[in-house]
Structure 1
Amino acid sequence: MPTVESSPAQGAVDLISNLRQLHGQFAAREQKVADFVAAHLEDISSMTIAELAGACGVSTPTVVRFCRTMGCDGFRDFKLRLAQNLAVSLQYLAPSQRDAQEGSVNAVDQVLGALYATVNVMRQQLDPERLDAAVQAVATAGQIVVAGVGGGSTMVAQEAASRLFRLGIPAVAVSDSYLLQMRAATLGKGDVLLLVSTSGEAGEIVSAAGVAGGYGATVIAITRPDSRLAQEATVVIEADLPEDPDILKPTASRYAHLVIVDALAMSVAQLRNEATTENLRRIRASLTAYHGRTGPQPLGD
């Protein structure tokens, strides 16, 4: 049987996947190490190389060869990378404590339950004065750039820009990190950079906040309190939201962020009532001319 002794795994980003993919391809003695590691993932970080070799019945050079086959520089590097893997992987490896009842109807109930719980937490955290400050800045903005990175934040940012342009305020959503830095640099006094970040730690978001703020723009952040982004923002709408431990449930925090965006847009619309009404009338007229329907309908949703 061919072995991978002289052909290390490419990279060592996911050692757990490497263990599975290379099972049966290691040299015989290295396979003993691989089998022991796979069965004792959580114990390896506290073992010395001599202890691991003794537990596997092999020599310490064999353990070193195994580590290199796995794409690591040596045993110390292997232990560090495995510990990093486990820090984020255990919840996916352990049996999940999910509701015993399955089915699409129960899934709807579970999603709604998470939505209600998260939005209720957000409602208790919301500071009316900060929301009012954000409304005033958006209502008088010359232009607005809305940004988020990652799946949920990107979707919320796109929705926010879609809401705001209908009110007659130039608004654009950005998710590309380089374009975000460029857009931030074009903003100035009277403009708004609206940032959505669950963690508040994404480097490109924090950097853009610093750039826009440095040129005098108002930086509004929907994010976790005391985060790096919160420290850079002019106005912080705090949302420190729990996530469900069930890894198969969708992230519920995006619902709370959408509620904040809708409340922000509605308040701005009410503040700019005359201009907003005329803008919405024009949009409705253009859509009617386009598809011919005149009954009640969403404005481009």
Structure 2
Amino acid sequence: MSLLRQAPLRGTRSAALQRIRAALPTLTPAEQRVAERILANPGEAIALSIGEMAQACGVAQPTVSRFARSVGFDGYPAVRLDIAHDFANDSEPAATGHRSDPAAQIALDAAIPAVATALRTAAAVEIWTTPDLAFAGELLETSLRELSVPASTSAIPSHWPRRAAGLPPQSAVLLLSSDAEHIAWSQAPAAARAAGATLISVTQRSTRTQNRQVDILLTIPETDTVEGAALAAVEAVTAAVREASLFAGPPGPASPWRGWPNQREVMIPTPGDPLPVVVLQQADESPDRGVCIFFNGMGTTKEEALPGGNGDRIAPSIVAGLLNCGYHVVVVDNPAHGVRKRVWEDTTELLTADFARDQPVLLGQSRELATALVDGVLALGLTADAGRIAVVGQSWGGLQSILSMCGDQRIACGVMIMPVCDASNLGSFQGLADEPGAAAGRVGPDEVAILAPRPVLLVSGADDEIATDADAAAFARDLAGAYSRRKAKTKLQHVTLEGVGHVFDARQVDHAAHWLATHLPA
């Protein structure tokens, strides 16, 4: 009875009773007895344990477990919990005297996050529909392609096995139907499975066979017309994939999931080895635009920061946001990262050794090469004015950006996102603060005055345990005196995002975009 004392969660709708009702004709006689008991008295199902339900239905406990799997759940506890959640989700519209629209109901389904992730991360997406819903498949294909999801659709079941056989690894197949019995469940799913595809069913009425074959089942509500239900599903799925896409900043042509067309790698001369950078230029290639030099996080490469790359989506989302703000972007490898180390060398080991040196060569290298980097940007013709150059960095790259500002006073503006403010604060290097080289990895007392009054924005997460909000706040306090003396208090800002850890959040880009627009318009 403990489940009854749990507060059911809103936003976790699973359409449990609808699933059970739809699958009823395809269940075994023993499973049907369990289904009919639950449909007749859902409240009892919430209350009864698996043993109590088996006894009430006159079946063995394994039959109740098989029933749960046959209707698309991991087990009987999931059936109980999802029925409770559905009651919670349904109670709010009822209390206000209206029902939510079908797309809103689907958006609350517990399966929606899994559907969105599978489609967003798939190497290719096949959308298979019954002929009567071909229009919905085509609309979903178009909507997903607008989000840079490689989607295709087919409403001819005889073509599906061949299409499935040609799928690349890590693909997804979405089956859209009003009734799963209308879907050919013979060769096509087997071919998709053989290709390693994730199978997703979006339907009003599923079957026992289908529930056991698919990886994700999304049940859509009954509506006045099948067409209306299908359109609601397309709307809800598209919205969920858009949310999972980590788009941030203003709308524009750049996407973290699609490569930037005007992109090239160049070598910038330095006093030592040339510095390789990737230039992402706006289509007009105007030298009047602002330029953002971007530094990625610890252990990453400049290539992993590029939109359309194979790394995580934190840096590509930030870079895409900067491009959509209208800036040219130059992406740099951090010292001891990417091509700035030998393939077999370990970044953490190289930096740890640098702490022990009286004259470190890596921890302060961004400071020392800042002038060469700015000169290189000017030589490339991205801008004719060094005062149109800003630095932006995330995590370890945040430290590199602020050290670059210390190294060249021509850099006009800086944004540090979930920043490491002192190299010895990072977990890998904690305990090394008193080492001879540690000072090179932090802003020194004499450099504070160099930063002011140039605009500096720090964006940290209240729940960040890697680059903590407390460290960012302490760094902001260290800078505050110099900015106050220069009568430039408004040019130093620390923003704390509640509920955010060391992860991407669209508000990071929103704050960065606003700050840059204020102090360095594109």
The reply to whether TM is greater than 0.5 is no
Q: Normalising TM by the smaller chain, what interval? A: 0.3 to 0.5
TM-score in terms of structure 1 length: 0.45
TM-score, normalised to structure 2's length? 0.27
Q: Tell me which of the two structures has the higher relative contact order, counting C-alpha pairs closer than 8 angstroms and 6 or more residues apart.
A: 1
Q: Which one has a larger percent strand, Structure 1 or Structure 2? A: 2
